[in-house]
Chain A
Amino acid sequence: MSALLSVGAITVRFDGVTAISGASFEVKQGELLGLIGPNGAGKTTMLRVITGVVRQSSGTVLLEGRPLDGLPTHLRIRRGLALSQQIVRPFRDMSVIDNVALAAGADKTTSPVKALFRTGRERELKIGHQLLSRLGIERQANESPQIQPMGILKRLELARALALEPRLLLLDEPLAGLNSKEARLLADTITEINRSGTTIILIEHNLGEVLRVCSRLVVLDNGVKIADGEPEAVMNDATVRAAYLGTGAAAQSGGQHAAA
């Protein structure tokens, strides 16, 4: 399998603070990669480097072998990335279906002139409805996002990202704020999306679900990559256990997995 995304020796400094230092990893075509680490490890910053919201001090990001460095965010998205944000941000003045249809109309919004001369959106609404039913929120299609519970909004965020038909889907803590049952169901949905061909990077604190669904893990701690590999092996790694539980706790916790 070839690398869809390859992150090479990324370093990010903010005013003298090093958020990420020399981290490298690859995402292979078709993978569901878990990007994990304690709070402040640099996971979200890494995602922002990939989407171009944050510029790295050094290092390079390649998508299908072509560098993304220097490209503005919207062009990186057009190259095949999509992001589901940690804090859900639906357009609250639009209905749920309108949110998804806007993303599905990406080929009509490449430029203002093109957008000015396109009015119809039957195709986009159809795609939108398909995605909503795939994510199980079809019933809320014509409702306002303002009245939806977090579980629905998380799925809307995901539907909107999928509407861009990404080659690489970036999920920033999609399970945060959900109860265990909702989290489990959404994790299943994410697995299903991955099986149907979308490569995914999943940032998530819910380790139970991460271990259940991810095929490989990359662990960051204090901006440094400390592990990369099979979930079982990574979680048994002493450095990883120390990063999560502290050195003393790791010794005490014995064979238990670091629970979420």
Chain B
Amino acid sequence: MEYEISLATTMAISVLFALSLNLITGFCGQISLGHAAFLGVGAYASGMLAKAGVPFLLTLPLAMLLSGALGIVVGFASLRVRADFLAITTMGVGFLFVGIVRQQDALGGEMGISAIPDTGMSKLAFMLLAVAMAAAAGLLSTYVRRCWMGRVFAAIAEDEDTVRVMGIDVPRFKLTAFALGTALAGLAGGLYAQHLKFIAPDSFGFIESITVLSMVVVGGIGSVVGVSVSAAVLSVLPSWFQVIGDYKLLVYGGLLFLMMRFSPGGMAALVARIFHPDRWGSK
């Protein structure tokens, strides 16, 4: 049972993390190839604070704040560059995060942080917390899609110049998407640090960013259910099949490519095409 609980916790954290990227990339159309950096910011913030004696549950909102604040800073890049260039810029941010953390003795350098103090929760309670957070992120995503902010996001994702001539403050909406998405990634990071009790810079590098992007793309960019399912499934594959763990970048990068090539709408679009073949623009 111990193993299943741990697996379920991993799945929940991955779903939360993937949904956080889905807010930015899926809803608002801003591609990010460095999203794992924000998972890292949250993980390091929560881990360090816990080691400093801050109660675990209090570290989570602090991790979200720090991650979201840095997210806004990176979001400013999205106001200057678009599409491919934004991908390259965010990729650079990802490398920058790993590069900086590696050099900081205060953050444990290459060795990372270990022996993060216990949360005081049972494994089961911690799993339930992670599942509840993932579910809350799912509900938030569903709500955002249905409110006016989501409608503006969808329009920005398609054609931001036209949104601008509709009198909408595009930069502020984009920054909001970055703030929300990166704060949720920070929350996922906090849970991640407490779940593993050990974090190192490499856990938040390029491979992790590609993994989470492939979860979003495979599930279906913008689809809350699709992304949740694909994140849950893809996150446990490496534990079941050793080979996937060994060739993570190859496997997830390959999946990313195949989906983009053959079903840009991801699994969600495939499913929709099977069940509603007459509907246009299933999304």
Which A residues form the contact surface with B (CB < 8 A)? 51, 53, 72-75, 77-78, 82-83, 85, 89, 91-94, 98, 102-103, 105-106, 108-112, 114-119, 121, 143-144, 146-147, 160, 164
Contact = CB atoms under 8 A, between A and B. Distances in A.
A213 to B, nearest CB: 23
Contacts of A93: 154, 158, 281, 283
A226 to B, nearest CB: 29
B262 interface: no
B165 A73 contact: yes
Contacts of B164: 73-74, 77
Interface string B122-146: 0000000000000000000001101
Interface stretch (B31-39, B104-112, B166-174): B166-174
B86 interface: no
B152 interface: yes
Contact of A74 (B146, B168, B280): B168
A116 B166 contact: no
Interface residues on B, range: 20 to 34
A51 B165 CA distance: 8
B149 interface: yes
B167 A119 contact: no
A146 B281 contact: yes
Contacts of B161: 89
B176 interface: yes
B198 to A, nearest CB: 37
A109 B148 contact: yes
Interface string B26-58: 000000000000000000000000000000000
Given A119-B146, A146-B280, A94 B166 contact: no
A160 B166 contact: yes
Given A74-B167, A103-B166, A144-B280, A112 B155 contact: no
Q: Which 5 A-B pairs have the closest CB atoms?
A: A77-B167, A112-B176, A115-B148, A115-B149, A144-B280
B147 interface: yes
A237 B281 CA distance: 52
A146 B158 CA distance: 13
Nearest to A110: B169
B168 to A, nearest CB: 5
Nearest to A121: B148
Nearest to A170: B165
B147 A105 contact: no
Contacts of A85: 162, 165
B169 A74 contact: yes
Nearest to B280: A144
A83 B163 CA distance: 11
B4 interface: no
B167 A91 contact: no
